[in-house]
């Protein structure tokens, strides 16, 4: 057993070892929170809590995966894989699939993503003949979402005076009707949206005490990370589930609560003690990440907020440099200054580009930074924007998958019924929808028997609809017989999507082909992984369940290339860099113009700034521009009030004099038009592959390093990865696996088709492979 306990400081140790009542661990920025969580789980595992009795809830899938890996290193990956670790949504979707029938869903229910729900809401607004300018789908979606997050069902919504009044006031009194209809339609489609996963879990636990009892008995210890960003629905789930024993460990930092705009409630952490009797509070206050100056600066900033849990975050690292605030004449110059500063700091400290981050409040700010870095040949990677699964061509294919698994999935049918074009246009689709609504059945039911539901279409259209139905039915028939990969291939080929994509070689089509190839190779990998692990869950159902919630922030592990990171501050939560640039510190941008309505939202902006600063280990640079091009016009802006919130002992603000000098000095050479021209000519050049993060396909699947598509691999890698028999291998044999890299065989078990080997990989941990499928090279 690893003596990991002694790697902890005193307060970390206390937090890890307290396990006989609820606890709240207030973890200051950079205080080793993940280490505490990891070791606590390892400790529990080694002290009488079997893995399947521990539930550990994280904020993102990526966080769950990383923590599982770390725990696997201590207790072994097999043990770690039995933990119930994941996001609220993924863990409870698993439970809901098991218990679906109790709630009137099937276990293969679809999960609607936010685009699906918005599109459905839009449909409903149209159906109700409401003015779409007044009833904006996104606004209505937001209201419904926050209702669900507060566990308000449609019935409760209509009966709630405050909500109804607030809707009246906002001149959208019929939200309650939309909500009601939305819920009915989701149910009919056998679909849950993201919020439903939490709402329905609560309903399940409320209405089926025996089910609640079952899970209470199973989960004897519950850990929740990032508690400051949980909403009411999540909080109540934790409370319900831990009702029997109260062994909950919540970890978080109220100073880093930045997601209230999507329902997170900071009161969950502020009032935690009240909700969990006997709760012990632990504070992790030593920051191991940043210099004293950065920690002090951040502390002085957050002190301006009223509501918070008192704590004293400190650093014992070197004193460090002051935070530097830089004034720029324009947003263009801001970019230039940041780029110069990066070059400059890199020369002085020999830091890798990976140790640099540019953080901004809004994604729109990334473009100008991008241009500036490109001019200086500084490699970068932009996070955010369209994720792999949001690309149209991927959504199309996935929509086919969804219909195959759940033909009642209305949103998916709407998406693919005429893609590729089969002559089924809006008119027909509207007739279909009307007919389905009239009869209270799904679109698919109407498609199956148009005559019975008296669908008013002519024979030509009827024929086209039948064609579509038969296509889908043929896939449904294939479903039980095929692996996800086989079926996916068949979908892409037989549906005509492929033909359409290869019709001509426009750049758009080429990129689509690339993405589809990437999807296919991801599915292939999914199947191979499962097979090698000896699992037979390789059907499309399993693949779809796997990806429905993996919307992916985890863009592959290609850390191989050094790049500057560019992302929003929200996306930077939990990360750290030696050098951090926070750009656009201007009134109405940061703090955002929307945040000024209430003290509460202004405090959240301040916490956001706190998160930004505390990402920095050594150097923190803040920039602001006097003029900025925004929403199609140039606006003058004044420096952010937040700059004055930092104690002047810890920050170098540009003096007015220097500011004037700067303006004079650079005004001619860096005025907008000069930059504008050069920027244009630059853009017309094709983007260099290595600098263009977004054009490089990344494998969004699985936890394994990405690799070329299977077809390509066969051609380029020489094809010498192959399967091997038991006789070729003994303990200690060195192998090189197609995906996991180099490793050593630890042991063997089983015979024939069941023969497996356990391998310790240098970079991929310990894995069990099924010899029948595993492809590798024997090295000695």
Partner DNA sequence: GGCCGGGGCATTTTT
Partner DNA sequence: TGCCCCGGCC
The reply on whether position 698 binds DNA by CB under 7 A is no
For the bound state, the minimum distance from the C-beta of residue 496 to DNA, rounded and expressed in Å, comes to 12
- Residue 338: CB minimum distance to DNA, A: 19
* Strands 221-224, 248-252: pairing kind: parallel
Residue with Cβ nearer DNA (611 or 729):
611
CB of 728 to DNA, least distance (A): 41
Q: One of 123, 193, 225, 409 is an active-site residue; which one?
A: 225
Contact code string over 175-194 relative to DNA, x by CB under 7 A: -------------------x
Please identify which residue in 52, 502, 594, 682 interacts with DNA, judged by CB under 7 A: 594
Site for DNA in 45-64 (CB under 7 A): 59-62
From 598, 631, 657, 684, residue interacting with DNA (rule: CB under 7 A): 631
552 part of the interface to DNA, by CB under 7 A? yes
The span of 278-286, 448-456, 518-526, 565-573 binding DNA (CB under 7 A) equals 565-573
* Chain-centroid distance, C-alpha 109: 21
State the number of binding residues for DNA (CB under 7 A). Answer: 48
Strand partners, 539: none
The yes or no reply on residue 469 touching DNA (CB under 7 A) is no
Catalytic-labelled residue, pool 38, 53, 141, 256: 256
Smallest distance, DNA to C-beta of residue 162, A: 21
User: How many Å apart are CA 318 and CA 316, to the nearest integer?
Assistant: 7
Give the span between the Cα atoms of 498 and 429, in whole angstroms: 23
Rounded-to-integer distance, Cα 416 and Cα 253, Å? 44
Placement of tokens 């390789």 in the chain:
538
By CB under 7 A, name the one of 132, 449, 599, 779 that touches DNA.
Answer: 132
CB atoms within 10 A of CB 598: 9
Query: What are the φ/ψ torsions at residue 706 (nearest 5 degrees)?
Result: -80, 160
Looking at the Cβ atoms of 21 and 553, the one nearer to DNA is: 553
Binder among 241, 549, 582, 618 for DNA (CB under 7 A): 549
- Interface stretch with DNA, choices 324-332, 493-501, 626-634, 726-734 (CB under 7 A): 626-634
Minimum distance of DNA from residue 422's CB (angstroms): 7
Residues making up the chain, counted from first to last: 780
Closest separation in Å from C-beta 547 to DNA: 11
Among residues 33, 361, 512, 530, the one that binds DNA under rule CB under 7 A: 361
Q: Tell whether omega for the bond before 420 is within 30 degrees of 0, i.e. cis.
A: yes
Q: Which stretch binds DNA (CB under 7 A): 37-45, 447-455, 547-555, 620-628?
A: 547-555
Among residues 462 and 777, whose Cβ is nearest to DNA? 462
Catalytic annotation, pick one of 283, 341, 415, 615: 615
Cα–Cα distance, 263 to 234 (Å, whole number): 10
Catalytic-residue membership of 628:
no
**Residue 117 vs 293, nearer CB to DNA:** 117
Residue with Cβ nearer DNA (345 or 497): 497
Q: How many separate helices (H) and strands (E) can be counted in the chain?
A: 33, 23
3-state secondary structure of 245: coil
Burial of 318 (0-12, 13-18, 19+ CB in 10 A): exposed
Nearer to DNA, 261 or 502 (CB): 261
Tokens 């502020």 sit at which residue?
Answer: 270
Residue whose entry in the numeric block shows the structure tokens 């929509």:
399
CA distance 212 to 602: 39
Q: Is 240 a catalytic residue?
A: no
Query: Among this protein's residues, is 414 annotated catalytic?
Result: no
Q: Does 688 help bind DNA (rule: CB under 7 A)?
A: no
Q: Does 384 bind DNA (CB under 7 A)?
A: yes
Element (H, E) at 566: strand 564-568
The question of whether 33 is a catalytic residue gets the answer: yes
DSSP state of 321: P
CA 701 to the chain's CA centroid:
13
What is the phi/psi pair of residue 636, to 5°?
-80, 145
Single out the catalytic residue among 33, 181, 381, 563: 33
User: What's CA 514's distance to the chain center, in Å?
Assistant: 23
Task: Report the distance separating Cα 445 and Cα 662, nearest Å.
Answer: 69
Q: Which is nearer to DNA, 387 or 692 (CB)?
A: 387
Burial annotation 469-506 (CB, 10 A radius, 16+ → b, else e) = bebbeebeebeeebbbbbbbbebbeebebbebbeeeee
Mask 95-124, x = binds DNA (CB under 7 A)?
------------------xx----------
Q: At its nearest, how many Å lie between DNA and the CB of residue 362?
A: 4
Q: Would you give the binding string for DNA spanning residues 661-680, x where CB under 7 A is met?
A: --------------------
Rounded to a whole number, what is the distance in angstroms from the first to the last CA of the chain?
31
Q: What is the DSSP string of 687-725?
A: PPGGG-GGGS----SSSSPP---HHHHHHHSTT--B---
Minimum Å gap between C-beta 236 and DNA is 16
CB of residue 635 to DNA, shortest distance in Å:
12
CB atoms inside a 10 Å sphere around CB 760: 13
CB 140 within 8 A of CB 171: no
Please report whether residue 133 would count as binding DNA according to CB under 7 A.
Answer: yes
CB under 7 A: which stretch of 176-184, 504-512, 544-552, 709-717 binds DNA? 544-552
Among the listed ranges 153-161, 171-179, 473-481, 592-600, the one in contact with DNA (CB under 7 A) is: 592-600
Tell me if 66 sits within 8 A of 57, measured CB to CB.
Answer: no
Is 161 part of the annotated catalytic residue set? no
The token pair that represents 126 in the structure block: 């149209």
CB-wise, 319 or 463, nearer to DNA? 463
Instruction: Give start and end residues of each alpha helix (H) in 49-110.
Output: 61-75, 77-81, 88-103
**According to the binding rule CB under 7 A, does residue 261 interact with DNA?**
yes
The answer to the question of residue 262 lying near DNA (CB under 7 A) is yes
Q: How far apart are CA 224 and CA 63, in angstroms?
A: 12
Binders of DNA among 415-454, rule CB under 7 A?
A: 418, 421, 423-428
| Nearest distance in Å: CB 561, DNA | 21
Query: Catalytic residue among 113, 123, 167, 226, which?
Result: 226
Residue choice 201, 230, 257, 568 for contact with DNA (CB under 7 A): 568
* Interaction of residue 553 with DNA, rule CB under 7 A: yes
Q: Which is nearer to DNA, 518 or 605 (CB)?
A: 605
Residue 600 or 658 having the CB closest to DNA: 600
* CA of residue 490 relative to chain centroid, distance: 29
110 catalytically annotated: no
Cβ 204 to DNA, closest distance in Å? 17
- DSSP assignment letter at 291: -
Q: Does 575 bind DNA (CB under 7 A)?
A: no
Distance in angstroms (rounded) separating the CA atoms of residues 32 and 42: 15
Q: Please say which residue, 119 or 742, places its beta carbon nearer to DNA.
A: 119
CB contact at 8 A, 708 and 696: no
- Residue number, 108 or 553, with CB nearest to DNA: 553
Taking CA atoms, 443 is separated from 124, 179, 450, 520, 717, in Å, by 15, 20, 10, 28, 47
Which residue lies nearer to DNA by CB, 61 or 256?
61
DSSP result, 504-524: S--HHHHHHHHHHHHHHHHHH
Tell me if 364 contacts DNA by CB under 7 A. yes
Q: How far is 470 from 497, CA to CA, in rounded Å?
A: 16
Binding site for DNA (CB under 7 A): 59-62, 87-90, 113-114, 132-133, 194-195, 261-262, 361-364, 384, 387, 418, 421, 423-428, 461, 549, 551-553, 567-568, 570-571, 592, 594-595, 601, 605, 629, 631-633
Q: Please give the positions annotated as active site.
A: 33-34, 225-226, 256, 615
């Amino acid at each position: 057993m690893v003596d990991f306990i002694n790697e902890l400081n005193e307060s970390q140790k206390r937090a890890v070892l307290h396990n006989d009542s609820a606890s709240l661990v207030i973890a200051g920025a950079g205080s080793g929170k993940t280490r505490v969580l990891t070791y606590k789980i390892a400790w529990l595992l080694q002290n009488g809590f079997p893995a399947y009795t521990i539930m550990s809830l994280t904020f993102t899938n990526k966080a769950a995966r990383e923590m599982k890996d770390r725990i696997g290193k201590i207790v072994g990956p097999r043990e770690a894989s039995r933990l119930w670790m994941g996001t609220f949504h993924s863990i409870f979707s698993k439970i809901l699939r098991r218990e679906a029938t109790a709630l009137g869903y099937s276990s293969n229910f679809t999960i609607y993503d936010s685009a699906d729900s918005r599109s459905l809401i839009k449909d409903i607004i149209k159906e109700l003949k409401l003015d779409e300018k007044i009833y904006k789908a996104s606004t209505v979606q937001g209201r419904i979402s926050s209702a669900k997050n507060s566990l308000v069902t449609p019935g409760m919504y209509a009966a709630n005076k405050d909500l109804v009044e607030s809707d009246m006031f906002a001149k959208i009194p019929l939200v309650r009707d939309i909500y009601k209809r939305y819920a009915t339609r989701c149910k009919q489609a056998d679909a849950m949206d993201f919020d439903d996963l939490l709402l329905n879990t609560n309903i399940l636990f409320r209405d089926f005490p025996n089910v609640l009892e079952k899970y209470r008995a199973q989960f004897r210890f519950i850990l929740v990370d990032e508690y400051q960003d949980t909403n009411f629905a999540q909080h109540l789930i934790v409370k319900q589930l831990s009702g029997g024993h109260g062994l909950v460990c919540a970890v978080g930092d109220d100073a880093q609560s930045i997601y209230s705009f999507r329902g997170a409630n900071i009161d969950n952490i502020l009032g935690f003690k009240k909700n969990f009797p006997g709760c012990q509070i632990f504070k992790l206050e030593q920051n191991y990440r940043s210099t004293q100056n950065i920690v002090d600066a951040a502390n002085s900033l957050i002190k301006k907020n009223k509501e918070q849990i008192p704590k004293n975050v400190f650093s014992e690292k070197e004193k460090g440099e002051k935070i530097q605030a830089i004034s720029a004449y324009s947003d263009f110059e801001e970019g230039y200054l940041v780029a110069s500063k990066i070059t400059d700091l890199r020369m002085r400290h020999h830091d890798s580009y990976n140790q640099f981050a540019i953080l901004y409040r809004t994604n729109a700010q990334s473009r100008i930074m991008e241009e500036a870095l490109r001019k200086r040949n500084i490699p970068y990677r932009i996070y955010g924007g369209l994720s792999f699964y949001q690309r149209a061509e991927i959504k199309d294919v996935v929509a086919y998958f969804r219909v195959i698994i759940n033909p009642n999935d209305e949103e998916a049918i709407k998406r693919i019924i005429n893609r590729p074009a089969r002559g089924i246009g809006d008119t027909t689709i509207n007739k279909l929808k009307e007919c389905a609504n009239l009869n209270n059945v799904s679109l698919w039911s109407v498609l199956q028997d148009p005559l019975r539901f008296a669908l008013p279409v002519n024979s030509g259209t009827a024929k086209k609809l039948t064609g579509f139905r038969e296509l889908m039915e043929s896939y449904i028939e294939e479903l039980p017989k095929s692996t996800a990969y086989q079926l996916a291939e068949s979908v892409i080929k037989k549906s005509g999507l492929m033909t359409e994509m290869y019709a001509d070689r426009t750049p758009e089509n080429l990129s689509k082909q690339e993405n589809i190839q990437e999807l296919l190779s991801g599915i292939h990998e999914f199947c191979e992984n499962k097979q090698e692990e000896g699992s037979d869950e390789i059907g499309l159902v399993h693949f779809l369940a796997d990806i429905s919630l993996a919307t992916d922030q985890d863009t592959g592990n290609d850390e191989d290339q050094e790049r500057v990171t560019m992302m929003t501050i929200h996306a930077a939560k939990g990360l750290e860099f030696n050098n951090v640039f926070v750009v656009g510190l201007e009134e109405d941008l940061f703090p955002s113009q929307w945040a000024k309505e209430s003290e509460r939202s202004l405090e959240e902006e301040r916490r956001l700034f706190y998160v930004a600063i505390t990402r920095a280990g050594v150097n923190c640079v803040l920039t602001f521009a006097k003029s900025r091009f925004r929403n199609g016009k140039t606006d003058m802006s004044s420096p952010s009030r937040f700059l004055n919130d930092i104690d002047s002992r810890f920050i170098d603000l540009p003096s007015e004099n220097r500011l004037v000098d700067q303006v004079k000095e650079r005004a001619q050479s860096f005025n907008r038009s000069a930059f504008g021209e050069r920027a244009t000519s630059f853009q017309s050049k094709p983007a260099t592959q290595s600098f263009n993060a977004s054009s490089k396909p990344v494998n969004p699947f699985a936890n394994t390093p990405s690799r070329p598509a299977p077809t390509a691999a066969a051609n380029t890698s020489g094809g010498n990865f192959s399967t091997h028999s038991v006789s070729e291998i003994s303990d200690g044999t060195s192998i090189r696996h197609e995906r996991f890299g180099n490793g050593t065989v630890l042991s063997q078990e089983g015979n024939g088709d069941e023969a497996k080997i356990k391998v310790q990989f240098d970079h991929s941990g310990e894995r069990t492979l099924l010899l029948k499928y595993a492809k590798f090279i024997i090295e000695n």
